[in-house]
């Protein structure tokens, strides 16, 4: 059965969807069975107001640029058609869904969740996988080796594209427990069981400097995790 996922991001005039802040950009990317289809949904929106200075510094979308763009009412049908029945992946989903719900409510339309199968918050996923770490989109790009050098300003479609790469990196290997063996190692794997069991093994012991470095690393890891690590409990027992 095919799994259709939509990676979604938005830009807004500010942070308060319960006030008069509005959506100004929506970007969506379609993925089916973890493969990009090339289908996207993207639009700029006229909010009929200025962006807060802090938000403007993030996305750079001025009121002048947005003045001739459509309003949300003009694009909502195309958006819900694109989303229909899919899993929607959003980083910090409560923020984007809050704004989408506010826009839908102004048009007396059902809540965002009624148009998709479910919403997956990739920020919540990242926090569970990397507790105590920074889990912003930029931080995750750095952690997974995904280049975002071209991201001088935030943009909904650009950020959705980066989130797609991050999500695939975070969930790599979840679909299968089978590890493909490179051809050059297949002969070695096939003959591994024939290795003599009476061969004398060479044991290399850590030097004093290596042991000190290891202890220093464990101490630093303990401080960063802010939890009582399992190795200290084992040592105590």
Rounded mean pLDDT, 39-66:
97
Question: Which residue blocks in the chain are alpha helix, DSSP H?
Answer: 53-59, 63-66, 72-83, 93-106, 122-129, 137-143, 156-170, 183-191, 208-225, 230-236
Whether the per-residue pLDDT at 225 is higher than 90: the answer is: no
Whether the per-residue pLDDT at 230 is higher than 50: the answer is: yes
Asked if residues 40 and 28 have their Cβ atoms less than 8 Å apart, the reply is yes
Sheet holding 87-90, edge to edge: 35-44, 23-32, 4-12, 87-90, 118-121
pLDDT tens by residue, 6-16: 999 999 999 99
pLDDT tens by residue, 189-217: 444 444 444 556 677 788 877 776 777 66
Rounded mean pLDDT, 62-87:
97
Asked if residues 214 and 231 have their Cβ atoms less than 8 Å apart, the reply is no
What pLDDT does residue 188 have? 41
Whether the per-residue pLDDT at 37 is higher than 60: the answer is: yes
**Concatenated DSSP letters of 183-202:** HHHHHHHHHGGGS-TTSPPP
154 in active site: yes
Per-residue confidence at 111, pLDDT binned at 50, 70, 90?
Answer: very high
CATH 3.30.420.10 segments of the chain = 4-170
What pLDDT does residue 150 have? 76
CA distance 172 to 98: 29
In degrees and rounded to multiples of 5, residue 59 shows phi and psi of: -110, -20
Of the residues 150, 154, 214, 222, which is catalytic?
Answer: 154
Rounded mean pLDDT, 107-121:
96
CA distance 36 to 203: 48
Which among 29, 23, 6 has a CA at the least distance from the CA of 161? 29
pLDDT tens by residue, 126-163: 999 999 999 999 999 999 999 988 777 889 999 999 99
Rounded mean pLDDT, 158-175:
89
What pLDDT does residue 182 have? 42
Whether the per-residue pLDDT at 184 is higher than 50: the answer is: no
More confident residue, 154 or 30: 30
Share of the chain above pLDDT 70, in %: 78
What pLDDT does residue 227 have? 62
What pLDDT does residue 217 have? 67
From the number of C-beta atoms within 10 Å of its C-beta (0-12, 13-18, 19+), residue 51 rates as: buried
Q: Which range in 54-68, 167-181, 191-205, 223-237 is most confidently predicted, on average pLDDT?
A: 54-68
Question: What's the half-sphere exposure (Cβ side, CA atoms, 13 Å) at 29?
Answer: 20
Topology (CATH level 3) of domain 4-170: Nucleotidyltransferase; domain 5 (3.30.420)
Q: Extract the tokens encoding 100.
A: 């989408």
Rounded mean pLDDT, 50-64:
96
What pLDDT does residue 192 have? 44
Per DSSP, what are the bridge partners of residue 118? 87
CA distance 70 to 64: 13
Which residues contact residue 111 at a Cβ distance below 8 angstroms, ignoring those fewer than 6 apart? 101, 104, 105
């Amino acid at each position: 059965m095919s799994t259709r996922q939509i990676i979604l991001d938005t830009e807004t005039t500010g942070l308060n969807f319960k006030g008069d802040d509005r959506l100004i950009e929506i970007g969506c990317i379609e993925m089916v069975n973890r493969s990009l289809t090339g289908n996207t949904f993207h639009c700029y929106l006229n909010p009929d107001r200025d962006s807060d200075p802090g938000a403007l510094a993030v996305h750079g979308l001025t009121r002048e640029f947005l003045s001739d763009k459509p309003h949300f009412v003009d694009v909502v049908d195309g958006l819900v058609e694109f989303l229909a029945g899919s899993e929607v992946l959003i980083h910090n989903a409560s923020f984007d869904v809050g704004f989408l719900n506010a826009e839908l409510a102004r048009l007396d339309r059902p809540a965002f969740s009624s148009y998709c199968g479910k919403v997956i918050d990739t920020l919540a996923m990242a926090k569970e996988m990397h507790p105590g770490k920074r889990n912003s989109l930029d931080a995750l790009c750095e952690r997974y080796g995904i280049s975002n050098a071209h991201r001088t300003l935030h943009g909904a479609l650009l950020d959705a594209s980066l989130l797609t790469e991050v999500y695939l990196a975070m969930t790599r290997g979840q679909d299968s427990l089978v590890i493909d063996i490179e051809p050059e190692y297949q002969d070695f794997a096939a003959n591994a069981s024939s290795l003599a069991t009476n061969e004398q093994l060479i044991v290399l012991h850590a030097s004093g400097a290596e042991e000190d470095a290891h202890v220093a690393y464990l101490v630093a890891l303990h401080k960063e995790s802010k939890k009582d690590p399992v190795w200290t409990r084992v040592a105590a027992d």
